[in-house]
Amino acid sequence: MLLVALTTLLVTLALLWALYFRRRRLPNEPPLDHGAVPWLGHSIEFGRDAAKFLSKMKQKHGDIFTVQAAGKFVTVLLDPHSYDAVVLESSNKLDFNKYARLLMERMFDVRLPDYDPAVEKAMMKSHLQNKSLHMLTKAMFSNLNTVLLHDREKLSTEWKEEGLFAFAYSVMLRAGYLTLYGNESAHDNNPLLQTKDLEHSAEVYNEFYQLEQLLMKLARSMLSTEEKKEATRIKKHLWELLSVGRLNAKVNRSSWLEGYQRHLEELGVDNVMQSKALLLQLWATQGNAGPAAFWLLLFLLKHPDAMAAVHAELERVFRSKGQMLPETEAIKQEVLDSAHVFDSVLSETLRLTGAPFITREVLEDMPLKLADDGREYSLRKGDRILLFPYLSPQMDSEVYEDPEKFKYDRFLNADHTKKEDFYKGGKKLKYYNMPWGAGNNMCVGKLHAINSIKQFVFILLTNFDLELKDPDEKIPSFDTSRYGFGMLQPRSDIKIRYKQKKRVK
Ligand code: HEM
């Protein structure tokens, strides 16, 4: 009895102490919401379903507010007209790297010596864009052909069943991995040698996919002891598969891999840490494209008008540029660039399913001026600022009519050019769709990702008949723990049937 009374007293005192000393909102600061639990604040709700939680907070406080989560104060800005004030601010005031480094270490055990992230970014850009893009597109086409058209498992003129997510993610990751990290041997379309690539890339995918299941908990330090052991086991296996020795023995290594390895060597990073960094890069470069391809195919399968429009465009653009897809060795960039219906389908898919956070650490007390009505707020040193474009503009009913609906031609003008004028509050938006991030957070692999997804879908639709096993099955709901980490993933897979098309000779 005495013990209960004593515990109650102590808890009450602790709560009173926490209430008395807790942070108070200062003049000009955004509305402050501590949450019910001292220190932890809103962290549980936030991690469980950030979109739901932040929508609720937006309704309560408007488009700027500060919430407490796991001891940290996070100011959330949801006015897309004002995003430039964050994404274009100097890194001396709003730092992008501190939090990224924390996650790198927590998720992938990567600790790199001090380096200039701007230099790394420029290096990555030079190997993923401009002249390098053409080489990547060609290699991706060849590797997609290997994975899709030389795998006996997939080649059948009888219907085969598989989960669409597993299908799309594995094809994209395996082909994307072979493109960036290299082939097991030069195969020149020799089926025996292609088998090596098929087996090795399947092993990398299978291990990576298992790790994927644990990554969100890993990022939030919420793994159980058993899960921690499992994550360590998988990572060790992947580090072996991506060891410097194995990678150096590959052929057709991309200039991106050469450039990144050189960069790590110049920093004095040892071989063990290099394979850890290469696993982190496998996630950064391959973690989004497969899920994006999954959602795109699912929306096409669920919307026959969209599928018909994509098929018609596919025929039209290849014919007009004098290419025949089944016979070609590479798809011309001009063919890829002229698929405007596909571009709209992809933008619409990413609007609905691309949900990265854009975060910065506040390095000094500073003002934040909003664009529309000149409101000015104070940001506090040590806090974090967060933009969540998924809520606004992407799912904002003021910007998009029926924002929850898939409309394949939403990003097309009547003359089939790209539609870029979207409005909020009567003012044209600079940022109307941000699945690729913005400013310093902008994805450096965007053009390669778009080319890769297009090539995958074109090869697939040309060579296979594809349908949902049960056309009435509902689109699966999101795994809500993934908000903030890029492309969303479904809570469960959905079955498709596919068979190789019979060629008319
Ligand atoms: C649909 C596919 C993709 C989407 C939606 C996407 C989106 C993003 C986003 C939002 C970021 C910023 C993350 C952050 O700063 O917090 C990012 C970063 C990055 N992306 Fe992508 N990405 C995709 C595919 C790719 C591909 C295929 C590659 C490379 C081959 C790639 C390479 C990278 C790299 C290297 C970074 C890190 C850049 C840095 O260090 O600043 N991405 N991506």
Model confidence pLDDT, tens digit, residues 221-265: 999 999 999 999 999 999 999 999 999 999 999 999 999 999 999
CA of 157 to the centre of ligand 1 (A): 36
- Residue 497, marked binder: no
- Residue 443, marked binder: yes
- Residue 16, marked binder: no
Which of 413, 437, 428, 444 is closest to 487 using CA atoms? 437
Mean pLDDT for the chain?
A: 93
Distance between CA 303 and CA 268 in Å, rounded? 52
Question: In the chain, what are the domain boundaries?
Answer: 117-356+435-500
Question: Which helix (DSSP H) or strand (DSSP E) does residue 394 occupy?
Answer: none
Pocket of ligand 1 (CB under 6 A): 121, 124, 128, 284-285, 288-289, 292, 354, 356, 435-437, 441, 443-445, 448-449, 486-487
Pocket test for ligand 1, best of 280, 288, 348 (most atoms within 8 A of CB): 288
**Residue of minimum CA distance from atom 3 in ligand 1:** 288
Categorize the per-residue pLDDT at 325 as very low, low, confident or very high, splitting at 50, 70 and 90: confident
**How many other C-beta atoms lie within 10 A of the C-beta of residue 138?**
16
Distance between CA 286 and CA 180 in Å, rounded? 10
Architecture of the structural domain at 117-356+435-500: Orthogonal Bundle (1.10)
What is the token pair recorded at 324?
Answer: 């025949």
pTM of the model: 0.95
CA of 435 to the centre of ligand 1 (A): 9
What is the token pair recorded at 93?
Answer: 């005031």
Question: Which helix (DSSP H) or strand (DSSP E) does residue 97 occupy?
Answer: helix 97-108
Residues 176-230: pLDDT tens digits? 999 999 999 887 777 777 899 999 999 999 999 999 999 999 999 999 999 999 9
Q: Confirm if 462 and 325 have CB atoms less than 8 A apart.
A: yes
Q: Could you give the angle at which helices 289-302 and 340-353 cross, rounded to 10 degrees?
A: 110
Question: Which helix (DSSP H) or strand (DSSP E) does residue 297 occupy?
Answer: helix 289-302
Q: Confirm if 319 and 270 have CB atoms less than 8 A apart.
A: no
| Residue 206, C-beta contacts closer than 8 angstroms, at least 6 positions apart | none
C-alpha dist (Å) from residue 73 to 28, 46, 496: 16, 13, 44
**Residue of minimum CA distance from atom 21 in ligand 1:** 443
Q: Confirm if 287 and 486 have CB atoms less than 8 A apart.
A: yes
Pocket test for ligand 1, best of 107, 295, 345, 443 (most atoms within 8 A of CB): 443
**Residue of minimum CA distance from atom 15 in ligand 1:** 441
Q: Confirm if 168 and 292 have CB atoms less than 8 A apart.
A: no
What pLDDT does 152 receive?
A: 78
Q: Is 446 exposed, middle or buried (0-12, 13-18, 19+ CB in 10 A)?
A: middle
